[in-house]
Chains A and B, each alone.
Chain A
Amino acid sequence: MNTFIVFCLLTFCLCSAGTSFAFETKGKDCTTCHTLTTAEATDLIRGIAPDIKILEIRLSPSKPLWEVFAESRSRKMLLYVDLSKKYLISGSLYSLKDRRNLSQESFSALNKVDVSKIPLDDALVMGDTKARLRVIVFTDPD
């Protein structure tokens, strides 16, 4: 099991869209023994969410889980499917060591918006308008 985790750590990422790359030094990639295609994920999840549309699949930071980025009824979501493909988890994955919500971070990274498409003429400004980094905050006044 430990060896497996080491392999996976070395070869993590780049598992999306059916592509897999192995580091030649180790010559083994966890995606060589495990795969999850978009069509397969659709079949697996359709029973729970009939209109599911899979957008992206990759191994989650917790190795024995696939991280599935999907959309259902125009809501985007992050789901997890275990490597046995028998179980689905809908919830947040946290790193206990770093106290970070990894699901939230992945979701944000996958669900980026085009900031140039957000009009700012009606926005209230806090700080120097010429500042290098612009953060747009959507807020309710109540």
Chain B
Amino acid sequence: MKKILEERKDIVFHIKLYPLKQLHPEAYEKSKAIVCEKSLTLLEDAFEKKAIPKAKCETTAVDETILLAEKLGISSTPTSVLPDGRLVPGAVDAKTLLDMIGK
């Protein structure tokens, strides 16, 4: 994403935390903590397997994201939703994603 943002100033990423509870039991708590702080640094820490503090707020946002993702048929992460609504499951390289987003 960073690579894309360097190249294209007309693209913005909105990241929604969608823990796959069965696969990663701790992901739900971590997601809440990250959403509470709205912190990209915390998300990067989580990706790097660093310990992150417990959620500092009560939020139902993560539960809502889980329900919404299931309804939309998003079953793997990461999944990108392009501006026109196309779903791109899996981690794809910057060039592929840019080709799909278009100009």
In the complex, number of A-B residue pairs with CB atoms less than 8 Å apart? 161
Q: How many residues of A contact B (CB 8 A)?
A: 36
Asked whether B15 lies within 8 Å of A126 as measured between CB atoms, the reply is yes
User: Are B16 and A137 closer than 8 Å at their CB atoms?
Assistant: yes
Within 8 A of A (CB), among B34-59: 34-35, 38-40, 43, 46-47, 59
Number of interface residues of B (CB under 8 A): 56
Query: What distance in Å separates the Cβ of B62 from its nearest Cβ neighbour in chain A?
Result: 8
B19 touches A118 (CB 8 A): no
Interface of B with A (CB < 8 Å)?
Answer: 1-2, 5, 8-20, 23-24, 26-27, 30-31, 34-35, 38-40, 43, 46-47, 59, 61-62, 64-65, 68-69, 72-74, 77-89, 97, 100-101
Question: Does B14 contact A125, Cβ atoms closer than 8 Å?
Answer: yes
| Of A1-9, A24-32, A89-97, A127-135, the one touching chain B | A127-135
Closest CB-CB distance, A133 to chain B, in whole Å? Answer: 5
A136-B81 contact in complex given A126-B1, A141-B34, C-beta closer than 8 Å: yes
Known: A108-B86, A138-B74, A141-B34. A124 touches B14 (CB 8 A): yes
